Amino acid sequence: MFRALLRLLSMVLLAVAVIMAVLDATRSIAANSIVATPLWASWATTSPTTLQSFEQSVSERLPAFVQDTVIDGILTLPGFAVFGALALLFYLAGRRPSRRENRFAVQR
């Protein structure tokens, strides 16, 4: 059941990544150059209050060097890349283990 939830979450994250990639592709065609919207810009457009509360909670709970390097680095990446990577991680966590047959086992 837990694996099914992870795979479902992976599908939702992949859908968000595709939507963000299509938006960036549309903007790129309109601008006649490559446009990759950072995650913070998409988040600020969609829900600025949650972005502010996230930044406030991160600044209160994490050291400054973690916030400056890790969090700010992730927020400046293109949104479709972040959601695509998360989708891949959740898919790998929720996949079924492969059943390998042992070639050297004795057949009975």
Share of the chain above pLDDT 70, in %: 93
Sorted by where each begins, the domain ranges of the chain are 1-36+79-95, 38-77
Give the model's confidence band at 43: pLDDT under 50 very low, under 70 low, under 90 confident, else very high.
very high
Quick one: how far is CA 102 from the chain centroid?
36
Determine the average pLDDT of the residues in 25-52. 95
Region of 32 on the Ramachandran plot (φ > 0 left; ψ -120 to 50 alpha; else beta)? left
Show Cβ contacts of residue 27 under 8 Å, excluding neighbours closer than 6 positions. Answer: 35, 37
**Mean pLDDT of the chain, nearest integer:** 91
| 53-8-82 Cα angle (round to 5) | 45
Report pTM: 0.83
pLDDT (0 to 100) of residue 105: 66
Per-residue HEC secondary structure of 78-96 comes to EHHHHHHHHHHHHHHHHCC
